Amino acid sequence: MSKINFLKPDKSNLYTFLYLGSFLFFVSVLDVLLNSFFSLNLTGFLPGFLSFLLPLILGFIGLYFIRIELSGIKQLDLLNKHINTNNFNAVLSLLIIFIILKSIPPILSWFFIDASFAGDSKDVCTGTGACWTYIKVWMRRFMYGMYPNGEQWRINLSFIALALLGSVGYFATDRFKKYLTLYYVVIYPFIAFLFIFFFISGGPVFFDFSYGIIAAILSIIIGFFIPSKFKFYYFLIVPFALYVLLKYFIFYEELIELGKLDGLNWVETGAWGGLSLTFIISFFCLIFCFPIGMAFALGRRSGFPLIRYISIGFIEFWRGVPLITVLFMSAVMFPMFLPADFFIDKLVRCIIAISLFEAAYVAEVIRGGLQALPRGQYEAAKSLGMGYWRMHIFVILPQALKLVIPGIANTFLALVKDTPLIFVVGLLEIVGMLNLAKTNPEWLGFAMEGYVFAAIIFWIICYAMSKYSYNLEQKYKTDR
């Protein structure tokens, strides 16, 4: 057996180095593992500093020994390529392995092992872990804010109905696919508006507008059977006709009675809150900011100087100020600009403010897409005799929007993440409700649980959105 040079691992003594190296490596990992999971200190007999560094040193030497190029063993080569390319990387890899091993036990015990799930009062939370009972007890408040418990089915029902209506696109056959844009851009937001303002809010005007909802839904259902030739005129006339018919001729008395039987109470917007408010605000701001942003993006690229300067001014103004000051403005300054007897609800003011704010960002993103299109597209459209609007609607915008899907998705993500700021005007969505709950004298000291809970919810929403946008991007990717 040839002499082994320990300073230079090589292939000729492959197995000696492999066994020795992996042994040292596993000893070091085992030491940390035992230390963190079972609080055993194998190296406790050594002086403090050395005992602390020993796993790192052992692991480093171990990794050094097994760093043999082209060893012929597949797993070893993979390991070397991915975590053990050189000394520096070896140390970093070891550190990360140790950090993960060290942090798993405390996180696990806080989240699950020592946490309390049962019960419905603070007394059960005596352990060192999280108190999920707190979340359980406050769940309704976190989800629905101050909305009365007995009425919360209205929010649930509206959201389920809207989710079902929103998923129509997945089930539409090819014949109806071309109307989906119209549906999602015009009809669906309108239905959502009716649902939220007159079902969730249940205001005094509910009865009047329930006809609108029925008319809209009925006309959409019938609309599927209308030949495409007449569809445009159909949607222009029939919903309105249905509404008038319902309101003034048929079922009048019966529907009023029905409405009264339901007896939906009015819930003022100040009582709305929690996650449902986050959804409502995000939904409407998303719907409103897109067309406004598109208009200003086109305005900024318009050939008319005055329109261009107005658009630039608008966009740069909103992009230059923080959202919190915009909300401040909507709360304290905006009412001064309206006639004294003209009152706009706090929530509506908020939605307007956030929509305008995000519209400026959407405008810049869309402008990027418009600029990225080659001139030839414009020229080709013009040479076909298309006017400004036809050119943009049928040629330019479909391509430009496809290009900017990631940017738009980022803006929408920012919008969702900005909704907690509405605490400025006194509306409390989930983060605001958390802050309220943590000051409740009966439930002091559970701030951490609340924030972790909200963070998980937001993380899931945002991560799902970004993954969805990535899928969309892949789906609409077209080669040029």
Query: Does 92 interact with another protein (rule: CB under 8 A)?
Result: yes
C-alpha 379/C-alpha 391 separation (Å) is 10
Interface residues for another protein in 172-231 (CB under 8 A)? none
Backbone φ and ψ of 405, nearest 5°: -55, -45
> With contact defined as beta carbons under 8 Å apart, do 327 and 421 qualify?
yes
Query: Does 435 interact with another protein (rule: CB under 8 A)?
Result: yes
Query: Does 444 interact with another protein (rule: CB under 8 A)?
Result: no
Query: Does 134 interact with another protein (rule: CB under 8 A)?
Result: no
What does the per-residue mask of binding to another protein show for 398-417, with x meaning CB under 8 A? Answer: ---------------x--xx
C-alpha 255/C-alpha 258 separation (Å) is 5
Q: For another protein, which stretch binds (CB under 8 A), given 65-73, 143-151, 203-211, 314-322? A: 314-322
Residue 298: CB minimum distance to another protein, A: 12
Residue 180: CB minimum distance to another protein, A: 29
Query: Does 72 interact with another protein (rule: CB under 8 A)?
Result: no
Q: Which residues contact 193 (CB under 8 A, 6 or more apart)?
A: 284
Query: Does 306 interact with another protein (rule: CB under 8 A)?
Result: yes
Q: For another protein, which stretch binds (CB under 8 A), given 56-64, 75-83, 186-194, 365-373? A: 75-83
CA triple 359-363-364, angle to 5 deg: 125
205, HSE (Cβ side, Cα atoms, 13 Å): 9
Query: Does 350 interact with another protein (rule: CB under 8 A)?
Result: no
Tokens of 476: 């609409």
Residue 299: CB minimum distance to another protein, A: 8
- The residue from 350, 391, 431, 433 that contacts another protein (CB under 8 A) is 431
> With contact defined as beta carbons under 8 Å apart, do 125 and 133 qualify?
yes
C-alpha 92/C-alpha 74 separation (Å) is 23
C-alpha 338/C-alpha 194 separation (Å) is 25
Nearer to another protein, 58 or 437 (CB): 437
Residue 176: CB minimum distance to another protein, A: 35
Helix (H) or strand (E) segment spanning residue 273: strand 273-273
Nearer to another protein, 55 or 212 (CB): 55
- The residue from 48, 204, 227, 305 that contacts another protein (CB under 8 A) is 305
Name the CA dihedral angle for 334, 335, 336, 341, rounded to a multiple of 10 degrees. Answer: 150
- Give me the count of residues in the chain: 480
- The residue from 52, 317, 394, 470 that contacts another protein (CB under 8 A) is 317
Tokens of 301: 């690229």
Residue 383: CB minimum distance to another protein, A: 20
Nearer to another protein, 34 or 457 (CB): 457
Interface residues for another protein in 240-299 (CB under 8 A)? none
Residue 259: CB minimum distance to another protein, A: 36
Query: Does 7 interact with another protein (rule: CB under 8 A)?
Result: no
The closest of 81, 64, 83, 85 to 73, measured between CA atoms, is 81
CA 333 distance to own-chain centroid: 30
The closest of 295, 322, 290 to 311, measured between CA atoms, is 295
Tokens of 191: 């239905």
Q: For another protein, which stretch binds (CB under 8 A), given 8-16, 268-276, 367-375, 444-452? A: 444-452
Query: Does 448 interact with another protein (rule: CB under 8 A)?
Result: yes
- The residue from 219, 418, 427, 437 that contacts another protein (CB under 8 A) is 418
Nearer to another protein, 230 or 470 (CB): 470
Place of tokens 């209308």: 226
Residue 306: CB minimum distance to another protein, A: 4
Query: Does 420 interact with another protein (rule: CB under 8 A)?
Result: yes
Interface residues for another protein in 93-122 (CB under 8 A)? 93, 96-97
Query: Does 85 interact with another protein (rule: CB under 8 A)?
Result: yes
List own/partner pairs for 243-250 with CB under 8 A and 24 or more apart: 243/211, 243/212, 243/215, 246/211, 246/214, 246/215, 247/208, 247/211
Q: How far is CA 371 from CA 152, 377, 426, 477, 479, in A?
A: 47, 11, 40, 18, 18
Residue 82: CB minimum distance to another protein, A: 4
Amino acid 434 reads: L
Query: Does 316 interact with another protein (rule: CB under 8 A)?
Result: yes
Query: Does 307 interact with another protein (rule: CB under 8 A)?
Result: yes
CA triple 75-76-79, angle to 5 deg: 85
Residue ranges that bind another protein, judged by CB under 8 A: 81-83, 85, 89, 92-93, 96-97, 304-307, 310, 316-317, 319-325, 328-329, 332-333, 335-340, 413, 416-421, 423-424, 431, 434-435, 438, 447-448, 451-452, 454-455, 458-459, 462-463, 466
